[in-house]
Amino acid sequence: MDAAEFRRRGKEMVDYVADYLENIEKRPVYPDLEPGYLRSLIPNEAPLEPESYEDIIKDVERVIMPGVTHWHSPYFFAYFPAASSYPAMVADMLCGAIGCIGFSWAASPACTELETVMLDWLGKMLQLPECFIAGTHGRGGGVIQGTASEATLISLLAARCKAVRRVQTINAKKSESEILSKLVAYTSDQAHSSVERAALIGAVMMRKVPTDNRYAVRREMLKKMVEEDKAAGLIPFYFCATLGTTPSCAFDHLTELGPLCNEENMWMHIDAAYAGSAFICPEFRPLLNGVEFADSFNFNPHKWLLVNFDCSAMWVKERADIIGHWQIPLGRRFRSLKMWFVFRMYGLKGLQAHIRKQVALAKEFESLVRADKRFEICAEVVLGLVCFRLKGSNELNQELLKRITKSREIHLVPCQLSGRFVLRFAICARTTESHHIQQAWQHITQLTFELLQEAI
């Protein structure tokens, strides 16, 4: 493919992408396939001779599309959203074209500098305390990670180094391995599995803090565990708080937990992977109160802020704490271009409107559920996630979800809350409108009707 063909094919691809997204709701949201479907559709080996572009593009519909779960369909309500917008996609093309591996300032100054400034822009949108903003007198700043999982791991590794250094300044004879074996990290019993994985990789103990009846960690619960561990000769050093837990979008009480972490010399990291985007709206910003006590804070613009995957924003209060490990890989893409294009083309007001619209859609779905006495809401609806279930056994709800998935008209995933099987309905696609919510609910009630008829 030379430049002339690239011009032609590139324009065709833009048309294909626009057609795909404009017509996505006509496709079944979830594939109807058995695992292993793809191997039989393509050769066992890479071609020896070049193939034509036409042949490849034909295979996109034949081989790929049947196996795609359409995350950007307005009938996709599973997991949490994966952000998508045209400005981000266009910027991603430019990122691919520049193709730099921005591991140092000299490796591509614009890559390093735009990233720093974009994280400041975003930090200011969230009204982060000044100490997190690089372009101030503070010692903090932001960096883009690939995922929230990486941000958690980096914060844990930084906290581990700091804790070892602190213990050794008091007792120089203590070896690093001796200290490491005594370090304890904490997180909520509702935290994402990536937090536990960070502790596994970081080779430190991690304890799960039980949550209250709203699935949030409170000060007393953490304090009790910390006291027990100190009495047993262990060294509490790290707490990962969650704002917007994966199962039910619960919020740990930062204003209680932050001071405790500061008193106990424990690093507090905040994982707000999904919910963080909402903090650009003044009405949701109070959920972030207490961030001033944190050492690091992270959320994924690639979930809910219209910046396509991957773009996970992380801030630290002290840049010095993570210098040496700003990130896990050496290489980094020019991801801040996506933020720059999106922030400029939507403006803060456009981004706020996106969040507010999706929260309103979740509230609309919540009202539909509440109006039907066969169902119950299982957790407070704060943002764009509704946890609900049929009043009845776990088996009944499992069967309902099985039928929903099999129908392929809408897509949801479950969670466990207090041992109960619960359906999660998350507002995901940028293009989801009220009529999609109404249609989804109609579909769920139709399947419910059939299920309950059979049960009689």
Indicate which single residue of 30, 121, 215, 274 sits in contact with ligand PLP (rule: CB under 6 A): 274
Q: How far apart are CA 430 and CA 132, in angstroms?
A: 30
In the complex with ligand PLP, the residue whose CB is nearer, 215 or 375, is 215
Beta carbon nearer to ligand PLP, 193 or 453: 193
Distance from C-alpha of 366 to C-alpha of 391, rounded to nearest angstrom: 15
Query: Which residue in 211, 242, 352, 448 binds ligand PLP (CB under 6 A)?
Result: 242
Q: Tell me the three state secondary structure of residue 107.
A: coil
In the complex with ligand PLP, which residue's Cβ is closer, 300 or 448?
300
- DSSP one-letter string for 10-48: HHHHHHHHHHHHHTGGGS-SS----TTTTGGGS-SS--S
Q: Which stretch binds ligand PLP (CB under 6 A): 241-249, 318-326, 340-348, 354-362?
A: 241-249
Partnered with residue 76 across adjacent β-strands are: 411
From 400, 394, 181, 157, select the one nearest 296 (Cα to Cα): 157
| Single residue of 147, 358, 397, 432 touching ligand PLP by CB under 6 A | 147
* Whole-number Å distance between alpha carbons of 80 and 247: 10
Instruction: Quote the least distance from Cβ 446 to ligand PLP, whole Å.
Output: 29
Closest contact distance (angstroms) between CB of 38 and ligand PLP is 23
CB closer to ligand PLP out of 204 and 426: 426
- Nearest Cα residue to 132 out of 302, 7, 9, 270: 270
d(CA 71, CA 9): 25
Are the C-beta atoms of 406 and 422 separated by less than 8 Å? no
Q: CB 255 → ligand PLP: shortest distance, Å?
A: 19
- Considering the complex, what minimum distance in angstroms separates the CB of residue 312 from ligand PLP? 5
Q: How far is CA 138 from CA 50, 132, 291, 320, in A?
A: 55, 7, 15, 12
- Counting residues that bind ligand PLP (by CB under 6 A) gives 15
DSSP per-residue string spanning 39-63:
GGGS-SS--SS---HHHHHHHIIII
Verify binding: residue 248, ligand PLP, rule CB under 6 A: no
By the rule CB under 6 A, 300 interacts with ligand PLP: yes
Task: Decide if residue 80 touches ligand PLP (CB under 6 A).
Answer: yes
Shortest reach from residue 33's CB to ligand PLP, in Å: 24
E strands within 303-454? Answer: 312-316, 375-377, 385-390, 413-417, 420-426
- To ligand PLP, the closest distance from the beta carbon of 245 in angstroms equals 6
| Residue 277 lies near ligand PLP (rule: CB under 6 A) | no
Q: Does 252 bind ligand PLP (CB under 6 A)?
A: no
Q: How far is the CB of 222 from ligand PLP (least distance, A)?
A: 18
Q: Which of residues 39-78 bind ligand PLP (CB under 6 A)?
A: none
User: Interface with ligand PLP includes 155 (CB under 6 A)?
Assistant: no
249 binds ligand PLP (CB under 6 A): no
Contact assessment for residue 239 and residue 199, using Cβ atoms and an 8 Å cutoff: no
* CB of 348 closer than 8 Å to CB of 125: yes
Omega into 310 within 30° of 0, i.e. cis? yes
Residue choice 85, 248, 312, 448 for contact with ligand PLP (CB under 6 A): 312
Q: Is 215 left (phi over 0), alpha (psi -120 to 50) or beta?
A: left
Give the per-residue contact string, 184-223, with ligand PLP (x = CB under 6 A; - = no): --------x-x-----------------------------
If one asks whether residue 366 binds ligand PLP (CB under 6 A), the answer comes out as no
> Is residue 269 near ligand PLP by the rule CB under 6 A?
no
Are 24 and 73 in contact, with CB atoms under 8 Å apart?
Answer: yes
Interface ranges with ligand PLP (CB under 6 A): 80, 147-149, 192, 194, 242, 244-246, 271, 273-274, 300, 312
